[in-house]
Structure 1
Amino acid sequence: MKFSPALQPATLIKRYKRFLADIELPDGSVTTIHCANTGAMTGCAEPGNRVWYSTSDNPKRKYPCSWELSETAAGHTICVNTAQANRLVVEAINKGIVTELTGYSSLRTEVKYGSENSRIDVLLQDESKPDCYIEVKSVTLLQDGRGYFPDAVTTRGQKHLRELKEIAESGKRAILFFAILHSGIENVSAAHHIDPDYFSLIREAERAGVEILCYKAVLTQEELYLGHCIKFNR
């Protein structure tokens, strides 16, 4: 996925009210941008970090600029716009990059499913095989050299695991897809120290047949794309 127009650099002053951040532009002026990431953003939003933002030409937007990338003091690049994760996964599936998910003739997004009234991020279908339900999660938390999900307690994520488990038990294919949006992460674990209930549910889901895929993104100021599969630590 290429950025058009190109991303612009700035310095982060602070993130606040979950959806907003103040940044200092290269000319010294200050502006407010939209932050699509509602999570804790641990390690991704330190004041003074260099950030990169996109600009929308939609006249209805109150804040036309969106926070896309952060550069940490350690030199890592992080995509903080979690809305990009689904786009990257769909693009990678369509291009055949995710070899585990090839051979389907139909791809749909945001399809209603499950006993708890959710929407699956991606649904793959083909007459020759069972339907494949894919729940996408973005991973940006790096601690002690390891990537973790989630970065905060997530009742929504717990619900998604229960519904994926039901899908797998029904004989269909269920995928938990971790999109790694942090250049420093080389392996991923469920964050038992942050959300023990999620940790327990992911183990139950795997025992029921839910598959876990982890693909790391290549992150630059020009483009984003999923590159290669990395290890999930059980």
Structure 2
Amino acid sequence: MQYQNVKFGIFESRPNRFIANIQQDGESIVCHVKNTGRCGELLIPGAKVAVEESANPKRKTRYDLVSVEKAGRWVNIDSQIPNLIVEQWIASSGFFSEKCQICREKKYGKSRFDLYVQDGERRAFVEVKGVTLEEDGVARFPDAPTLRGIKHLEELIQCLSDGYEAYLIFLIQLKGVHYLEPNWKTHRGFGETLLRAKRAGVKILAYDCQVEPDKIFIDQPVPVVMGGE
């Protein structure tokens, strides 16, 4: 994924989850934040950020905040990116053939999964979770309680009993993590449901990304350490 018209600034504040104030060339600018999560360990006053300038003159905000520098490396926080990257990657992943058909936002039960893959007689639902929280080389999800995440896991388990394959892919939007684990401290219920999904047969995968201010792409598989097993 390549961004266009990327510029840099210094993070100042985040008045609400949708906007942030940054300093750019001595001017304070309001940006749209492409992530409604907390990102509290990233969006710290003084942090260097990358923003993409919009070509739409009718927008209320001129820039989208897409990446943050943390400890000398870039972390992509664009929550719209993981689904797109995984969709592009699936056909070359080895899990499905290059001729597989992919559908976005496929409804199943009471949920709408990010991706649905049909590959010959194989049918699979894929849910994608972007991960930006990293602590001491460990990626964790979620960064806040997520009842929606639990619902998706329960529906993935149900998919298996109906003859579908089920995948949960954690896309870690940075490089340099040793493994991923559920954030037991923040939401134990998600961790317990994830563990149950794994035991039921849901394929749980994690991949890190190479990230630069103006680009991001999937790189290497990362171990998923469940804990609580």
Query: What is the TM-score when the length of structure 2 is the normalising length?
Result: 0.93
The one-letter code of the counterpart of 1:198 is F
What does residue range 115-126 of structure 1 map to in structure 2 within 5 Å?
116=110, 118-126=111-119
Name the structure 2 match of 1:16: 15
Name the structure 1 match of 2:142: 150
- Give secondary structure in 2 for the equivalent of 1:216: strand
Distance 1:11 1:143 in 2: 22
After TM superposition, give the deviation of residue 103 of structure 1 in Å. Answer: 5.0
Name the structure 2 match of 1:113: 108
Is the aligned partner of 1:163 residue 2:155? yes
Q: CA RMSD in A?
A: 1.4
After TM superposition, give the deviation of residue 223 of structure 1 in Å. Answer: 1.7
Name the structure 2 match of 1:3: 3
Name the structure 2 match of 1:62: 60
- Give secondary structure in 2 for the equivalent of 1:52: strand
Is the aligned partner of 1:44 residue 2:42? yes
After TM superposition, give the deviation of residue 157 of structure 1 in Å. Answer: 0.7
1:76 counterpart (66, 73, 80): 73
Is the aligned partner of 1:135 residue 2:127? yes
Contact 2:97 2:119 in 1 (8 A): no
After TM superposition, give the deviation of residue 28 of structure 1 in Å. Answer: 0.4
Distance 2:197 2:161 in 1: 9
Contact 1:92 1:225 in 2 (8 A): no
Distance 1:186 1:99 in 2: 23
After TM superposition, give the deviation of residue 145 of structure 1 in Å. Answer: 2.5
The one-letter code of the counterpart of 1:23 is I
Distance 1:104 1:206 in 2: 28
After TM superposition, give the deviation of residue 104 of structure 1 in Å. Answer: 5.0
The one-letter code of the counterpart of 1:178 is F
- Give secondary structure in 1 for the equivalent of 2:104: strand
Name the structure 2 match of 1:100: 95
The one-letter code of the counterpart of 1:82 is S
1:218 counterpart (185, 210, 225): 210
For residues 126 and 64 of structure 1, do their structure 2 counterparts lie closer, same or farther at Cα, with a shift above 3 Å needed?
Answer: same
Distance 2:40 2:125 in 1: 29
Contact 1:44 1:80 in 2 (8 A): no
Distance 2:58 2:152 in 1: 32
The one-letter code of the counterpart of 1:92 is W
Deviations along 1:104-145, one digit per CA (max 9) or x if unpaired, are 52111111112x2x211111002332x111100011111233
Following TM superposition, where does structure 1 have runs of at least 4 consecutive aligned residues deviating by more than 3 angstroms? Answer: 101-104
Query: What is the TM-score when the length of structure 1 is the normalising length?
Result: 0.92
- Give secondary structure in 2 for the equivalent of 1:62: coil
After TM superposition, give the deviation of residue 161 of structure 1 in Å. Answer: 0.7
After TM superposition, give the deviation of residue 75 of structure 1 in Å. Answer: 1.3
For this pair of structures, how many residues does the alignment match? 226
Distance 2:202 2:169 in 1: 10
- Give secondary structure in 2 for the equivalent of 1:58: coil
The one-letter code of the counterpart of 2:189 is D
